[in-house]
Structure 1
């Protein structure tokens, strides 16, 4: 109703509404008063109505005003209320928004609480896992510490040196053996360099080898003397190798050292034993070959005389037996050389047909004395000449033929020779067959072993050959680039097949012996064995020469100054001195000398040693006609010269041969022509001063087995020798400076000894050449 009242007031306006309200109030007042008057009085009079109207008129303005004010206040209140309601609605909306935000925040909070709960669970699980991991690591560290302690105890218990050095060469750790060597604890040793703990010479070698490991990133093994803190010196085999981190970064090197002083002492003693063995074999060679060569020589000479058939048979047996004994002795010498890795080949042009004829003759005699038939069949064409070591091939075939004869009671021994030439190489094959006892199949792979014996029947051991012949023969065949195989059946015989591949060569020219026939020579023979004297004198006199014999060195030195000789033949082993001693005396005497030729019971493979020690040539015993003819042709010149011319030119040719062997004549001639002889003399004097020091250092390096230093010092010697044209010294030094050569360690001592023994003599030859060239 109030809203209706207000709406009416707004609709009619305040004036009309007031008038309407006044009329309504007057009417209401009249009605109310009339009603009250009627109720109270029971009747209404006009005065009453008038009074009622007047009363209404009096109160109506106030009532209208009051109502208007009230309405106005109400309107304002309504408006305020509307505004309040709007604000309330806004506040309600904001409250709803806040409630939604609160709900969202509560949800987010609940979600965060859940996540925190889950995170807490995960954290607790992670903490538990971490605790387990920490426990595992603690356990692993404990195990690692135990393993480290155990490993450390092993390392410290090792008698070998173990140490570590970083890239700067400073120690990072070591074991107890290293502490004992240096006299310092590991904590004291860490951070020090080899220069801080070793002497200068030892430290320089240690640092040098360290640098080699770092430069090449490879392991290195060498031997070196080290000194303990108490002054004791010990010989160590040291091995160094780089070590790296897990990511491949190089951290330094680790070194190991094993004391081998006893082994070094044993090696030195073994070397001395080997030297003694060599000397013993050399002595045996001379002592056994001397009578053996006499038997071979005399029997050969007797076979050329008139004999009865029976005497010829006996003599052939003696001759073949002596040759066979010589072959056995050759096997023994070759066995020794094989032990020292010094088996050598000397290839020369040979006529294969002549060679096989020789084999056929000797083998025929060997078979004939056993009542066997022998044949040699050449089933292919052969080249006129090939390059090979005839002595070694002869030794192989004689061993095989000897075995065939030995184990064949009756029947035949046959050699089949074949040759196939391809690409300038002659592929030779020799099949040595017999009809003997044969070799069991299970034994055929063993018969080439050293000293192996084949069991043929109960209580009957048959050593194939001499026990070493087949082993040495196969080694020789393989050394020559071939091989030996066997095919055999028990009771049917055996066939040994030798295969070789050798290069073709130009046929050697026959020098002829007309010179010997046309120029009788006067020869001095220095020999003490009567048998050798008889054989040699008969041979030389048979060639038309006059021979004077001196049975000792003293006698030879007495004869030479008083008598002219065209040739001097010197035995190496004499009662009072060696042939080399005689040569030294003669060379130092600066007198005109005939050619000096050594007679030796050893098999000559290289004459360099003999020439280096003053000889002009060397001949093996028993001397042969071809060897004597060759020496005379080369050293005594041609027959159309007078005797005086022969001596002078022969000496000149002798000297030229010696010069060409020992000196680089082309270089020296050019050098002297350009700068003159004075600078050469100065270089020779400097070389003489330097060589003793060079050789002393080289010898110490050999004893210490320092390969790098040996090669370096040998290179210095080679360079020095090259600068003054000492060709022989240069060649030997070249071998000594080349550790990659086969059997280098086995030969280095001999090469050093050869340099030591030869350089003074070679310098003398150089000075002699320089004097002659200057003139």
Structure 2
């Protein structure tokens, strides 16, 4: 069967190869030949012979029938082969389609499985999404609530920060502002939105910005908080001293974002500190004044008692007088200790070197020391070990104080023997080294105590041996400080029962000569001949003040009570009124207030007080034009006359001139109107525009001056000379615009730091502006009324 299939396939392949026609001819020929062979073989087999006719018949029949049969068979076979090939192709395609279908079916199954999985996952995702949406909605709800809470807290925090009077601000590491509170915005004159992104260079003056940037960088370098003090200017020019505290600013991850700054206005504290310093200075001045005033009679007691000791006296009288003499000297030394204690506590001991005749100085020391030693029956020797310079430059008062202290101590602690003051020097070309040695034969100082004797308030305790040496325990401490200020030193050598030696070494400049200075008090002729009304209740004060004023050429009327003063006073009769503050029935302030209510035009009212005056504001607020301390001095009273009496105007007539019946004082006061006011400018201005614009300008000036003075005060507290100059310049211009010549001139001085002793006088000039401008305005208004 297999061979048949092979032959059939060979048959078909040959058919396809040769084609139907050629194959048919070949097959027909083959069949004819086969038929002939078969016929011949069968005939020979059956008959044993073969005739030609039979061969021809057989060939003819075969040639006639066989081609058509072969052709038909070939066509059928060809059709069958073609059908087979098409079928084979169809089968192949079908198999391919089946394979593709199987593949697609597999893919479909996979897609279905994947789709089912995706559907399942999507369903799960939808469920999760629904849960997430629900959670998100809950989170949004809570976040909205949280945002509302945060916003409320942020608004509350912002309100709290804005309500704070302290500066609060943020800067990043590029020194740019990131935010601030209202106080900071007011300081720089910009809103928070305007400030964000700016640097200190854009906000502050260059010098201030430089320091702020420098401190910012120091904070970033060390990464720790720091504090600094800085004067800052408000937009209106007012200065304020701020204590600036800067701290690093971090986020929640610990990354540094920049810095956060806090600024507290400590201007008032600065003023308070300055006031304390001034009060302390005033206290020292008061103590010095008291000491001076008490030392004057003490010096008289010492001098007179010394003179009396040289006269004939009984032993009892001499003993009493010697006690008086030594007591006066001791009291004077205690005054010195009190003053030096005050200055030493504030570290304000200072030297005022002046040319000194050194020889006379040593002789004076020797004379006084001789007297001190004699009072105790001791010997005093003054030894010149070398030649001494004639003239030196030194604070003689301080040097004398140190030597008196050492010699006084030596005398106190010596019962018998004596005290020796040895002086030597080593002279150089421009200076000299001076050596003082104070040696005594007293009780001596234990070695364990030598290190302590220069301590403040320390006193050596040696049983009964020093009970007579009563003192303050500050003399050696102050002496050491003074000698150290002179560039020298004090050393001590001592042995118990033998005595002590104190050695002083100082180096002082040499000078050619000593010129004595004389104080000359000059009273100008126009300062005499005034009529002065004085209210004082103490007879002694009346005698002292009246004798002084009459000696200066003035006429004085006295009232000893307030009611008496109010009864007899007539403003037109007097040029100056002196009011004691404490009276039996009322105060000087009460009198001043009643006078100002009763009279429109008054002479200057000046308070008299024995108290130390630190601030005159209280006196001015209560009706006084000036305040003087008792007892009166020529300088003080002449200053008041010059500034108040000669600067005050009396009543003018309608023409702006004094009445023919006015006295010399009135003539002087009229001339002083020209000192206070720029009459030439005012007269021409009023003639052109009238008085109404001047009144308007005065009103504007009065509104501006408090701000000007407040800023000027802040610059005074800051000791900012440029700021003082600037504000004084504005005041000068404003005063000049309304003809206040006196204020303009004082402001001109205040704005001129190049003037000699400008800083020493600036307080007085500022006070003069502060307390005089309103009086000058009143004079101007009075003048305008006459126009």
Q: TM-score, normalised by structure 2?
A: 0.46
Q: TM-score, normalised by structure 1?
A: 0.47
